[in-house]
């Protein structure tokens, strides 16, 4: 028997719904293509470079055809040179919290000094808050002081400093400054605190002797800013190295030179 004829017509599709579905499908495909394009442009090349660097690094050894991978030899890093006969370092704090007046420091005394004439040779560095100048160049007429930045090195490995090419103070827009120490600190813009860099500095003093020093802190015990804490080694015999043997040899040489010469008896 034939089935009865179903007079119910199939539901008519809504053109507006079809149009919206098509639009959302096209937007999805467009976003997918854009995402894949961005991945291909930015992410993939960076990852390929990282992979290449990793494979080319000495710690990664890929086996060639028919060969077993061998473990790379580990090379021990050389330990920094240390010297047992270095002159002992001293640590001092200079209260330079005044925003107007400089505090003058003398390496030979290891303390601040009262200065009546800034052109004298009785001071080597001057501190005013975070500003540091030296007794040489544009700051004074007679001083020979200058500075060098030795970089981030171990303080105890600096057994000798250069004798030349020290940078003296220059005339800035409003006052003098030493370019070596314009940024001896890092400034935190969130906490507004200064942190001393780990750099070691070489100093030629006002009378031509040598020292090395490092900034340690900028804050006083009461958290007030401007207390400059440094550690330093000063060589008072005029040598540019900081070994105890040099001091002893110089003292012996001076003693020998002071002895009266003995004439040879006649034949």
Q: What is the pLDDT of residue 9?
A: 57
Q: 165-181, pLDDT tens digit by residue?
A: 999 999 998 899 999 99
Instruction: Yes or no: say if 113 and 104 are a contact pair by the CB < 8 Å rule.
Output: yes
Q: State pLDDT tens for residues 204-258.
A: 999 999 999 999 999 998 889 999 999 999 999 999 999 986 544 555 555 555 5
Predicted pLDDT at 14: 73
Rounded to two decimals, what is the model's pTM? 0.63
Tell me if residue 49 falls in helix, strand or coil. Answer: helix
Domain residue ranges in the chain: 23-51, 90-247
More reliable by pLDDT, 234 or 28: 234
Cβ proximity of 245 and 86 under 8 Å: no
d(CA 137, CA 124): 12
Please list, in sequence order, all residues whose beta carbon lies within 8 angstroms of the beta carbon of residue 220, skipping any fewer than 6 positions away. Answer: 95, 97, 226, 227
Question: What does each C-alpha distance from 70 to 10, 89, 99, 138 come to in angstroms?
Answer: 73, 48, 64, 62
Q: What's the confidence (pLDDT) of residue 76?
A: 46
| Nearest of 166, 152, 139 to residue 197 by alpha carbon | 152
- pLDDT value for 66: 37
Contact present, 263 and 106 (Cβ < 8 Å): no
The predicted structure's pLDDT at residue 30: 87
């Amino acid at each position: 028997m034939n089935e009865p004829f179903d007079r119910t017509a199939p539901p008519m599709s809504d053109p507006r719904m079809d149009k919206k579905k098509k639009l959302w499908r096209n937007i999805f495909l467009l976003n997918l293509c854009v995402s894949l394009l961005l991945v291909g442009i930015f992410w993939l090349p960076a990852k390929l470079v990282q992979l290449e660097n990793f494979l080319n690094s000495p710690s990664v050894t890929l086996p060639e055809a028919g060969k077993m991978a061998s473990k790379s030899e580990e090379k021990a890093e050389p330990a920094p040179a240390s010297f047992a006969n270095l002159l002992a370092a001293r640590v001092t704090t200079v209260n330079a919290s005044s925003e107007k007046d400089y505090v003058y420091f003398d390496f030979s005394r290891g303390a601040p000094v009262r200065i009546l004439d800034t052109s004298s040779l009785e001071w080597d560095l001057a501190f005013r808050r975070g500003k540091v100048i030296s007794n040489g160049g544009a700051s004074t007429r007679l001083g020979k002081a200058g500075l060098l930045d030795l970089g981030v090195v171990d303080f105890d490995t600096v057994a000798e400093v250069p004798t030349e090419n020290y940078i003296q103070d220059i005339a800035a827009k409003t006052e003098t400054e030493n370019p070596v120490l314009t940024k001896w600190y890092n400034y935190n813009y969130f906490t507004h605190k200064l942190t001393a860099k780990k750099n070691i500095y070489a100093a030629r003093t006002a009378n031509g002797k040598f020292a090395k020093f490092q900034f340690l802190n900028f804050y006083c015990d009461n958290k007030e800013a401007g207390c400059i804490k440094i550690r330093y080694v000063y060589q008072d015999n005029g040598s540019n190295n900081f070994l105890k043997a040099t001091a002893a040899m110089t003292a012996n040489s001076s003693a020998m030179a002071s002895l009266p010469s003995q004439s040879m008896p006649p034949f």
